[in-house]
Amino acid sequence: MPVKKTESFQATLGRSLRKLKDDFGACGLKLSTEDAAMTIDQIKFWADLSLLPVVVKIGGPNARNDIKQLVPLNIDGLIAPMVESPYGLENFISAVKDFTTPMQFGRLNKHINIETITAVKQLGDIMNAPEAKFLDEITIGCSDLSGSMKKRTMEGSVLNRVARAVNKIQSKKITVSVGGGIQPDSIDGFLKKVHPDKFNTRVVTFDVVAGEKYNQAVAEALRFEILMLEHDARQGFITRDEEKFRIKELKKRLK
């Protein structure tokens, strides 16, 4: 009986993923050993289940043990959080090279997060560093950025900073994504203001297509994240207390 329940729940997860991909244009999943504190076994489960490309945010630009354990998994890329300088980028690229063959290094997508006012101010220097040629994508983390500015996420001064950073990254022909506090009721106005190539909820990434509306897509992604938490609590990947707290936060964003 427990096996059947697990199989049934996994089938539900698969259907939800298929719906995100086919009906709403989801283009990837973003997992994390950093903010979500996911274990390697947990990441392996989702990477093997996913119908979408999977990238994983590591514990820091030089989180070498994360990189070592993640490279053999069925993942498509790595994200270095809190890159605030060219040196942070150099550390990330160097660490990835140390734990990959040349073929693996070329295959893996390499992303960084820009998520503090310090990083935004250093963005030009970061993108002019020699290691920037290896970058496939840069994500701007709006929640952390606004926190570092002591502002609310959707405040005008924050959005202006994000929009300028998006434009600067795109001028270097690097794909740019935005994330952090994405909600169904504000997503479309947010995208009109900052014009990224992609956006992501905590887990699900979408390509931005001109003229599309994304409020329903975000709602569906948040519902999928709730299913993920329910599954991970059943499997012992997270505690029941963590499940309840994080689901409560997601439901606030769905209101």
Judge whether 59 lies within some domain: yes
From CA 16, how far away is CA 5, in angstroms rounded?
A: 17
- pLDDT for position 181: 81
Sign of the torsion formed by the C-alpha atoms of 105, 109, 113 and 114: positive
Please tell me the predicted confidence (pLDDT) of residue 5.
52
pLDDT at 129: 98
15 inside domain: no
Query: What is residue 138's predicted lDDT score, i.e. its pLDDT?
Result: 98
pLDDT, position 155 = 86
How many domains, in total, are found in the chain? 1
Tens of pLDDT, residues 67-80: 999 999 999 999 99
Residue 129 C-beta-side C-alpha neighbours within 13 Å: 20
Residue of 25, 12, 4, 8 whose CA lies nearest to 224: 12
Residue 7 domain-assigned (yes or no): no
pTM of this structure: 0.93
- What's the domain range around 187? 27-212
Does a structural domain hold residue 232? no
Q: Which residues of the chain have pLDDT under 50?
A: 1-4
* 244 domain residue, yes or no: no
Confirm whether 249 is domain-assigned.
Answer: no
Q: What is the CATH number of the domain that holds 79?
A: 3.20.20.60
In a domain, 225, yes or no: no
Please indicate, yes or no, if residue 151 is contained in any of the structural domains.
Answer: yes
Residue 219's alpha-carbon distances to 72, 83, 154, 204, 209, in angstroms, are: 33, 30, 18, 11, 17
Q: What is the mean pLDDT of the chain?
A: 94
